[in-house]
Structures are given as structure tokens and as C-alpha cells.
């Protein structure tokens, strides 16, 4: 049975990915930061249908919590096959004029540093088990890395630009080992992240600018992640796939 860790697997895109991967027979390890109720709900939904899932709390903006999480996973569940670097945050819509260093650093700590440290621990864990072949990482970036999110959250967009760069660099670094690294760039997807930006209904407001004239479903991003993890994408690495309805 394949083991997959999904950071931020308790809600939104991570949740849809957890359910989909569990349905394919994987043991899904669902990381979350605060919302234990949401994490337990996904675990219960998966196990109720015969799937395997566990929840693990860790703030990926904190290096020591990440290393502890990977140590726990190694002890209790063994070797990880896949890592989905999905957890990401943004804050209230704001022009750059009003951004603070504290906010920018919080965004980068989760979306960039946390993603890199999780990747590092995944690689170290693979070395521990001495097995690299067939492993894969999928990073969840954003169309914002191309658009820049003017007037909303340039800090968040910049963090996703870094995710694209990390995807490219890490894919080359790990290619010979046999670990593939790819990214998906979602457009506007129906999840609770938009409430954090101060506009829960944002997807409906901006849907008209999407060439397909609608927001995306979390399951439609999960589909891309599932493909990028699977052997049917075995010659794909360093790819950044737009899933934005044409954006």
C-alpha cells in the first residue's frame, strides 16, 4: 500500500485529494494546523468507506513541528511514497502600500519555507529507507504566480512564484534519484481560503473573467494531483500544470 502525506489535507483541495487518493487504495496521512474537527471528518469519511487515513497535527510554518511530524510518520507508518505540498495561506485583500513585514513573513513561512522543509524531510526520510524510485512530490502553486494578484495579495502571489521556481529546481536536483517533482497551478477554486482573503464569495465574483466562465471544484485539482503522482506520468518532472479554466 502506498503512503501519501498531504499537508493541509483537512479542507478544500487537500481534502478532495485525500478522498481521491484513499479511493485508489493509498494510506493517506492528513496534516492540518488547527482544525481537528475538519481533519477527523475527512478521516472518518475515508475509513467509513473502507479506506485508510490518519490525521496528524503540525504547523508547517514551524521547522521543529515538521521534523517531529516526519519522525512520527516514519515510526508509525513507515516509508512515504508521495508528498503533496498543499498547505497554503493568504490574508485579507490589501494593496502593497498596506502590507507589513510580519504578514509577508507569515505567508512566506508557510507557503515557501514550510514547503521546502517538508520536501527536505521527505527526501531525508527516503534516504532513511534507502528507496527513491517511483516517489513523487506535487506542489500546489497558483495561477496567482503569473497574474501577481494586484490589489489583493501580491505577497501570496510572490510566494507561489517561489513555489514554481522550487518545483523546477528540485525536479532537476532529484531527477537522477528517481523522485519526480511537479506542480499544479489552480485558478479560482471553491474553497474556504477566499474567506481568509475577506471575500467568501470571491469565486463567483471573478468567475466571468475565467475563459470557461466558472470557478473550479477542488476535485478538479485533485484529479491533476492524482495524475502527477501516478505512474501514468512517469516521464513528467519539473512540469507546472495550469488548472484554471483557461486563466
- DSSP assignment of 107-146, as one string? HHIIIIIIHHHHHHHHHHHHHHHT--TT-EEEEE--THHH
70 near ligand NAP (CB under 6 A): no
User: Which of 173, 192 has the CB closer to ligand NAP?
Assistant: 192
Min dist CB 100 to ligand NAP, Å, is 18
CB neighbour list of residue 137: distance below 8 Å, 6 or more residues apart: 82, 83, 84, 85, 119, 122, 170, 174, 179, 180, 181, 182
Binder of ligand NAP out of 17, 27, 110, 125 (CB under 6 A) = 110
User: Which of 110, 226 has the CB closer to ligand NAP?
Assistant: 110
245 near ligand NAP (CB under 6 A): no
72 near ligand NAP (CB under 6 A): no
Alpha-carbon gap, residue 42 to 19, rounded angstroms: 7
Binder of ligand NAP out of 84, 112, 123, 193 (CB under 6 A) = 193
31 near ligand NAP (CB under 6 A): yes
189 near ligand NAP (CB under 6 A): yes
11 near ligand NAP (CB under 6 A): yes
Alpha-carbon gap, residue 41 to 16, rounded angstroms: 12
Own/partner contacts of 98-105, CB < 8 Å, gap of 24 or more, are: 99/154, 99/155, 103/155, 104/155
Q: Which stretch binds ligand NAP (CB under 6 A): 31-39, 127-135, 167-175, 225-233?
A: 31-39
User: Which of 22, 140 has the CB closer to ligand NAP?
Assistant: 140
Report the catalytic residues: 156
Beta carbons within 10 angstroms of residue 127's beta carbon: 10
Instruction: State the Rg of the chain over Cα.
Output: 17
User: Which of 79, 242 has the CB closer to ligand NAP?
Assistant: 242
Alpha-carbon gap, residue 50 to 115, rounded angstroms: 30
User: Which cell numbers in the block locate residue 125?
Assistant: 526520510
191 near ligand NAP (CB under 6 A): yes
User: φ and ψ at 213, to 5 degrees?
Assistant: 60, 30
38 near ligand NAP (CB under 6 A): yes
3-class SS of residue 10? coil
Beta carbons within 10 angstroms of residue 217's beta carbon: 14
32 near ligand NAP (CB under 6 A): yes
112 near ligand NAP (CB under 6 A): no
89 near ligand NAP (CB under 6 A): yes
User: Which of 129, 192 has the CB closer to ligand NAP?
Assistant: 192
Footprint of ligand NAP on this chain (CB under 6 A)? 7-8, 10-14, 31-35, 38, 59-61, 86-89, 110, 140, 142, 186, 188-189, 191-193
Amino acid at each position: 500500500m502506498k503512503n501519501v502525506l498531504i499537508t493541509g489535507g483537512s479542507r478544500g483541495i487537500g481534502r478532495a485529494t485525500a478522498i481521491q487518493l484513499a479511493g485508489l487504495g493509498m494510506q493517506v496521512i492528513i496534516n492540518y494546523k488547527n482544525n481537528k474537527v475538519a481533519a477527523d471528518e475527512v478521516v472518518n469519511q475515508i475509513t467509513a468507506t473502507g479506506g485508510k487515513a490518519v490525521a496528524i497535527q503540525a504547523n508547517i510554518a514551524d521547522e521543529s513541528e515538521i521534523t517531529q511530524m516526519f519522525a512520527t510518520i516514519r515510526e508509525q507508518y513507515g516509508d512515504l511514497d508521495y508528498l503533496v505540498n498543499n498547505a497554503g495561506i493568504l490574508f485579507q485583500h490589501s494593496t502593497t502600500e498596506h502590507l507589513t513585514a510580519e504578514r509577508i513573513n507569515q505567508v512566506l513561512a508557510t507557503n515557501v519555507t514550510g514547503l521546502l522543509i517538508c520536501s527536505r524531510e521527505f527526501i531525508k526520510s527516503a534516504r532513511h529507507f534507502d528507496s527513491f524510485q517511483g516517489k513523487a512530490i506535487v506542489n500546489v502553486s497558483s495561477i496567482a504566480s503569473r497574474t501577481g494578484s494586484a490589489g489583493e495579495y501580491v505577497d501570496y502571489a510572490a510566494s507561489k512564484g517561489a513555489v514554481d521556481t522550487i518545483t523546477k529546481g528540485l525536479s532537476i536536483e532529484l531527477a537522477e534519484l528517481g523522485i519526480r517533482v511537479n506542480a499544479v497551478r489552480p485558478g479560482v477554486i471553491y474553497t474556504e481560503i477566499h474567506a481568509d482573503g475577506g471575500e467568501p464569495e470571491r469565486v463567483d465574483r471573478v468567475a466571468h473573467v475565467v475563459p470557461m466562465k466558472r470557478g473550479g471544484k477542488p476535485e478538479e485539482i485533485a484529479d491533476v494531483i492524482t495524475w502527477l503522482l501516478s505512474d501514468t506520468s512517469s516521464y513528467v518532472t519539473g512540469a507546472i500544470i495550469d488548472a484554471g479554466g483557461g486563466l
